[in-house]
Amino acid sequence: MLRTHTCGELTIKDLGKEITLTGWVQKSRDLGGMTFVDIRDRYGITQLAFNSDDDADLRAKARELGREFVISVKGTVIERSSKNLKIATGEIEIKVSKLDILNPAKLPPFLIEDETDGGDDLRMKYRYLDLRRNPVRNNLVLRHKMAQEVRRYLDGLDFIEVETPVLIKSTPEGARDFVVPSRMNPGEFYALPQSPQTFKQLLMVSGFDRYFQIVKCFRDEDLRADRQPEFTQIDCEMAFIEQEDILNVFEGLIKNLFKNVKGIDLGEVPRMQYADAMRLYGSDKPDTRFGMQFVELTEVVKGADFPVFDNAELVVGINAKGCAEYTRKQLDELTDFVKRPQVGATGLVYCRYNNDGSLKSSVDKFYSEDALKKWAAAFGAEAGDLMLVMAGPAEKVRKQLNELRLEMGNRLGLRDKNTFAPLWVLDFPLLEWDEESGRYHAMHHPFTSPKPEDISLLDSKPGEVRANAYDMVINGTEIGGGSIRIHDRELQALMFKHLGFSKEEAQKQFGFLMEAFEFGAPPHGGIAFGFDRLVSIFAGLDSIRDVIAFPKNNSGRDVMIDSPSTISEEQLKELSIKTSN
């Protein structure tokens, strides 16, 4: 090896040792008589010292070093006169006897420091330089540790990691597919998997029993902070189990990760019905780091001749504890917040429960203080609290109030990144009405089993059928989801029928799966976790970008390698793809 030690390991215990270090020049300071150079590798930084009694050539060479030059130095470990106790190597320095420049470097386009001056675009273009920075590298080290821990835990429970293909068939599973033209089959296309769903189910038919894979998945969706066109799942499936078994095994996985990677005891993960999550938080992924649950006031407020409330399907609010003294300006800000197109509410009603015990609302014209007392009772509000109330169609108003609740959580500092509130959300609806296509869609995916006791509702009230489906949520982010699957051909065919597939379409798309169910399919179920999201939560980041080595930007571009890109006419021809010209 070209080095005897790394740049992070020499300490006062190594005084007098003859060593060789290699790495990048972090910075160099020329103080006239002395030149100090910091050499860096992924393990740390060590100070190199050159002084006036050194050979003139050596000193001249040291002065030549620019930032990020790759160098090798031989020397002796000596004690530093001014120590830096903040870093592991801060008590020593290297008295250099030989310096080799292994490769000079152009000046990097941004500072390779923990706090950099590089903007997002520049850092993406030179991602390999950004990855030299501690915070970015640490995220990938964390990711590695978590992946190892996942493998260790699942291997310990007899799970087998199996690779499934990346060139598969286009199937409707929620998002748009990325497709790949097949040269050997002109006019035909592969699709990249949105998840290995059908393959893992087939592995259960094959008797693998417990499968997992840390696997790349692809979805051609519009991008957001927590979405990338390619992302990684911890994909899992088990046979001969019930929902309770899945919840236990994978709660164990998450608890293990928290314990062994972050040293945090998560405790038992609470469970909530989907219907309750929607009623109390207006979201299927409630942030339970704080309370502020919804309080329904429809009956309490009706009949006061306030048309907005009288005509509303639902009047619902939250109690912002201790916010009675919000200024007019702050209240206007909240009203503006809910009126933003992203939230889309028409207005916000507030009621202050003043410290002197009086009640004052923005709808005093319609509600006497006695009436407002009833509001306060419904909210369980106390003097000093602020009640925020919205009205409208139930589903819509719940969504809007969810946004306001999260905003209040932010304003009140109740969403601390170092607090972790996990939650299982259970019993999702099987189907969800899609306005655009005017039909029901599978809420999770078409292979999810309805609750046996709800199957009879499939014809009469499809929207009320519940599924054996579950999500794990941490701090308001969905980090995993899965279901007990259908393993019976007839039931699977019935599901496709309810999803609007003709017999022929179902056969064409999923005939292979339904046929497999006729060859001895065991009862099975599974789950998949969004690995990037999980790592970003562990790292305390809002975006998954920084836990991915080479991410794409918001337009789905890799600006470093400049992809996607056009391909040549020859390539297109070879792929039997016609162009317009």
Interface ranges with ligand ASP (CB under 6 A): 195, 197, 481-483, 526-528
548-562 per-residue burial string, b: 16 or more CB within 10 A, e: under 16: beebbbeebebbbee
Nearer residue to ligand ASP within complex by CB, 14 or 220: 220
Nearer residue to ligand ASP within complex by CB, 195 or 232: 195
Q: What is the DSSP string of 239-284?
A: ES--HHHHHHHHHHHHHHHIIIII-----PPPEEEHHHHHHHHSSS
Nearer residue to ligand ASP within complex by CB, 232 or 319: 232
At its nearest, how many Å lie between ligand ASP and the CB of residue 489? 19
At its nearest, how many Å lie between ligand ASP and the CB of residue 483? 5
* Alpha-carbon separation of residue 495 from 16, 238, 423, 485, 500 (angstroms): 75, 22, 29, 12, 9
Nearer residue to ligand ASP within complex by CB, 172 or 384: 172
At its nearest, how many Å lie between ligand ASP and the CB of residue 436? 21
- CB count within 10 Å of CB 429 equals 23
At its nearest, how many Å lie between ligand ASP and the CB of residue 494? 19
Indicate the residue type of 461.
Answer: K
CA-based nearest residue to 474, from 207, 235, 253: 253
At its nearest, how many Å lie between ligand ASP and the CB of residue 174? 8
CB 289 within 8 A of CB 413: no
Alpha helices in 360-430 (DSSP H): 369-379, 394-411
Nearer residue to ligand ASP within complex by CB, 197 or 509: 197
Pairing of strands 386-392, 349-353: antiparallel
CB 109 within 8 A of CB 132: no
Nearer residue to ligand ASP within complex by CB, 195 or 283: 195
At its nearest, how many Å lie between ligand ASP and the CB of residue 94? 51
Q: What is the DSSP string of 294-355?
A: -EE-HHHHTTSS-HHHHT-SEEEEEEETT-TT--HHHHHHHHHHHHSTTT--S--EEEEE-T
At its nearest, how many Å lie between ligand ASP and the CB of residue 525? 8
Nearer residue to ligand ASP within complex by CB, 319 or 448: 448
Indicate the residue type of 412.
Answer: L
At its nearest, how many Å lie between ligand ASP and the CB of residue 148? 22
Tell me the three state secondary structure of residue 416. Answer: coil
* Strand ranges across the sheet with 271-273: 160-161, 210-218, 230-239, 524-530, 477-484, 469-474, 422-426, 271-273
At residue 405, φ and ψ (nearest 5 deg) are -60, -45
At its nearest, how many Å lie between ligand ASP and the CB of residue 530? 9
CB 214 within 8 A of CB 531: yes
At its nearest, how many Å lie between ligand ASP and the CB of residue 528? 4
Nearer residue to ligand ASP within complex by CB, 301 or 527: 527
Residues 6 or more apart from 572 whose CB is under 8 A from it?
578, 579
Tell me the three state secondary structure of residue 97. Answer: strand
Nearer residue to ligand ASP within complex by CB, 190 or 231: 231
In whole angstroms, what is the distance from residue 282 CA to residue 145 CA? 35
Nearer residue to ligand ASP within complex by CB, 499 or 528: 528
Closest CB to ligand ASP: residue number: 195
Nearer residue to ligand ASP within complex by CB, 118 or 482: 482
Nearer residue to ligand ASP within complex by CB, 75 or 526: 526
In whole angstroms, what is the distance from residue 180 CA to residue 406 CA? 41
Nearer residue to ligand ASP within complex by CB, 163 or 305: 163
Tell me the three state secondary structure of residue 518. Answer: helix
At its nearest, how many Å lie between ligand ASP and the CB of residue 83? 53
In whole angstroms, what is the distance from residue 569 CA to residue 298 CA? 65
Residues 6 or more apart from 214 whose CB is under 8 A from it?
147, 150, 151, 161, 232, 233, 234, 235, 531
CB 161 within 8 A of CB 140: no
At its nearest, how many Å lie between ligand ASP and the CB of residue 260? 24
At its nearest, how many Å lie between ligand ASP and the CB of residue 480? 8
54: left (phi over 0), alpha (psi -120 to 50) or beta: beta
